[in-house]
Every structure is written in C-alpha cells, then in structure tokens.
Amino acid sequence: KLRGAIRKWEELHEKVIKSGGLHVIGTERHEARRVDNQLRGRSGRQGDPGSSRFYLSLEDDLMRIFGGEQISSLMDRLKLPEDQPIENVLISKAIEQAQVKVEGFHFDIRKRLVEFDDVANQQRDIIYKLRRKVLELKDLKEDVLQRIKDRLAKSVDDQVEIDTETVLANLLEVVPFDEISTKNIKSQIANIKSKEETKEFLNKVLEDVLRTREGQVGTDLMRQIEKYAYLGSIDHLWMDHIDHIDDLREGVELRAYGQRDPLVEFKNEAYSLFENLVDRINEELSRRLFRIGVGVPQPEIPLAQARENIDTSDTTGLSGNADAAVVSGEQTFPKKKKPGRNDPCPCGSGKKYKKCHYPQYG
C-alpha cells in the first residue's frame, strides 16, 4: 500500500511540474509586504516550480490612500491604457513605498499603545510586589503601624494651625473610642500647641490602642487581622484604580485638540491617581484594622457543671458580689433597656446584637 501511494504521488508530482507548478493569483496587494511574500513563497515550496501574479486597482484602499495619485500621474506620462497590466518597475516601487508607509503607520500605533500600557504596567508591578510582601510576611505590625502613623501625620501637616476638633475627628476615623475616652483625648489634644507634639501624642495613642487590642484578641489572631485588613484594602481599591485608568485612557486623546501631548497628560494624571491610591490604601487600612469584629469561642460547659450553675444562679444573683456576674466565662450585661436586634451589641465587639449575643440572651 505504501509503495502504491508513493507511486501515485510521483505521477501527480510529474504532472504538476510539467504544467508549471502552483500558480498563485492575488486579487490585491496587502498592506504588509510580509503577506505578499508569503503568498509568493507558496508557489515555490521545496524547489518546485511555480509563479505568482497580483492584480490590483488604483481604487484599492492601499493605492487610494498612499499611492493612487502618484501612480495615476505616472501612467498618464507613460501613456499607458487603463486595461494594460501594470508591470513597470517604477510603478512596482511606488506600490512598495505605499506598503512601507502603511507598515510604519501601524508600527507607530503599536508603539503608542505600548507606551500607554507601560504606565499601567509599572503601577501594577508596584502593587503586586506590595501584595506579595503582605502575603509572605508573617509579622506586619511595624509596617501597618507606620502606615497609620503616616496617615495621621499627613492630616496634621495639612492643617495651617492645630485644630482640636479636626485632629480628634481624624483620630476617631481610625480608632472608634467610647465617649469617655474621646473626652479624655480631646482635653489632652487641646493642651498641645505644636504639630510635632501632636504627632508624638497620636503615635503614642496608636501604640497603646494596638497593644491593648493585641492583648484582647491574642498575638496570632492580631497578625491575621492585620493581614486581612491590608489585603482587603489593596484588592478593593486597586480594582477601582484600574477602572479610573481605563476611563482616563479613553478620554485623554481629546487633549490633543488643546495642543497637548495625550501621552504626557496620561502619565501625569496616572501618577496623580496612583499617589491618591496609596493614600486611600492607608486610609482604608486605618479604618478596617480596629473595626474588624472578632468572636472569641466560649468553652463548652459539662452538663453536670451547667446544672450546678443553674441551681446556684438564684443565690449568686442576690449576693451583691460583683464577681458573681460572670458565670463559667460567659459575659452578662447590666440591667438596662434591652437592645434591639439591629443595635450594636453591648459587649463592644462592633457586631449587631442579633449576630453576636442575641442567640444566648435574646
């Protein structure tokens, strides 16, 4: 079978060679010389004979835009009839020059797009390196604390004169203090006169709050909270930043009507947006860190111990002993107005009452 197939192929091959090989007919010249050369190459593969012929009109897009008038005037000077094939060397060179112009035009377009893409790629590299750093590091305490300090320091530097209410409002955006602590801090800020002293005071408050928070939830859990807040801030704001960059890219070409280079304008605006992104990441991180609720699991009580607690609950409730308010590690609330289901839980976790202690005491 194989020999028969080879013999049949040789017969067909001889017929093709005798008839002149493959003849390629092109109905137009492509904008890229590479495509024309590939078509020509199809007719002479592996040393086989072949030929090619291209037919084109002066009304083709390539000729009309780049070389039609020049070739028309050349044909008029040579007094060539309209139905005569164009085989003059000068005309062939004019067609090739038109192709070179189109190739250069497309190259400039691609080069321009790459220059615009490089701006976003540089910003993407910075953000991805930061995100990878957050994922790989186990202890982000110093980095997170420094970013929050920088954020508060910037808010102080933006003020011409120290304003107690503004400083306090910026601090409360970071740490949700209760009413008593807020009044205490406000009175201390009012006694500070210089910006440097204000920054030092805010840094000390942040360090104390972070130390207290870490003592409440534990060191390991606090490191997880820092990483979660950091990653959440980066991911959320980076997606918004990409949308802003796309919107800027779509409209920046109109700056050319004002005699401004769109690429330069895009770089300047994108840099400003990226600086704003870094500031927003610090702000988002500051708001999230101390507002993430943590549910501490309660230890299970053996059935016998639970019955003893129920039996002694009447007597301990009347003993007047403040320590008796905590039974088996469970937290109880003072006798006040019962909170609503959507009200903040009195335990201070930051969660709604229905999602925190309502299942136990509701």
Q: Residue 249 — φ and ψ, nearest 5°?
A: -65, -35
Torsion of CA 340, 346, 347, 351, to 10 degrees: 50
pLDDT in tens, 132-146: 999 988 888 888 888
Instruction: Name the fold adopted by 2-100.
Output: Rossmann fold (3.40.50)
- Mean pLDDT score of the chain, rounded to an integer? 79
Tokens matching residue 108: 């400039």
Query: Is the predicted pLDDT of residue 304 greater than 80, yes or no?
Result: no
| The predicted structure's pLDDT at residue 336 | 54
178 or 116, which is more confident?
Answer: 116
Query: Is the predicted pLDDT of residue 308 greater than 80, yes or no?
Result: no
| The predicted structure's pLDDT at residue 296 | 53
| The predicted structure's pLDDT at residue 317 | 38
54 confidence band (pLDDT: 50, 70, 90): confident
Mean pLDDT of 19-24: 82
| The predicted structure's pLDDT at residue 272 | 94
**Could you give the 3-state DSSP secondary structure of residue 154?**
helix
Instruction: Rank 134-143, 238-247, 294-303 by mean pLDDT and report only the highest.
Output: 238-247
H-type alpha helices, the chain: 2-18, 33-42, 61-62, 68-78, 89-136, 141-157, 164-174, 179-190, 195-217, 219-251, 262-289, 303-317, 358-361
What percentage of residues in the chain have a pLDDT greater than 90?
16
Tokens matching residue 218: 């534990």
Q: Which of 94-103, 273-282, 309-318, 339-348 has the lowest mean pLDDT?
A: 309-318
Is residue 198 within 8 Å of 162, Cβ to Cβ?
Answer: yes
Mean pLDDT of 32-55: 78
| The predicted structure's pLDDT at residue 242 | 93
Mean pLDDT of 94-102: 80
Query: Is the predicted pLDDT of residue 330 greater than 60, yes or no?
Result: no
Distance from C-alpha of 325 to C-alpha of 321, rounded to nearest angstrom? 8
Q: Name the CATH superfamily for 137-289.
A: Helical scaffold and wing domains of SecA (1.10.3060.10)
Q: Which of 177-181, 229-233, 244-248, 327-331 has the lowest mean pLDDT?
A: 327-331
| The predicted structure's pLDDT at residue 68 | 64
Q: Which of 18-27, 87-96, 172-181 has the lowest mean pLDDT?
A: 87-96
Radius of gyration of the chain (CA): 39
Give residue 243's identity as a one-letter amino acid code.
Answer: D
| The predicted structure's pLDDT at residue 264 | 92
H-type alpha helices, 252-261: none
Query: Is the predicted pLDDT of residue 271 greater than 90, yes or no?
Result: yes
183 confidence band (pLDDT: 50, 70, 90): confident
Tokens matching residue 60: 């083709």
Distances, alpha carbon 357 to alpha carbons 62, 178, 324, 326, 344, in Å: 76, 20, 19, 15, 10
Q: Which residue do the tokens 């009109």 mark?
A: 57
333 or 262, which is more confident?
Answer: 262
pLDDT in tens, 205-223: 888 888 888 888 888 888 8
Give the start-to-end residue ranges of the domains of the chain. Answer: 2-100, 137-289, 334-362
70 or 155, which is more confident?
Answer: 155
| The predicted structure's pLDDT at residue 301 | 45
pLDDT in tens, 102-120: 888 888 888 989 999 999 9
175 confidence band (pLDDT: 50, 70, 90): confident
Angle between helices 164-174 and 195-217 (to 10 degrees): 20
Query: Is the predicted pLDDT of residue 315 greater than 70, yes or no?
Result: no
Tokens matching residue 358: 């309502």
Distance from C-alpha of 273 to C-alpha of 123, rounded to nearest angstrom? 10
pTM: 0.59
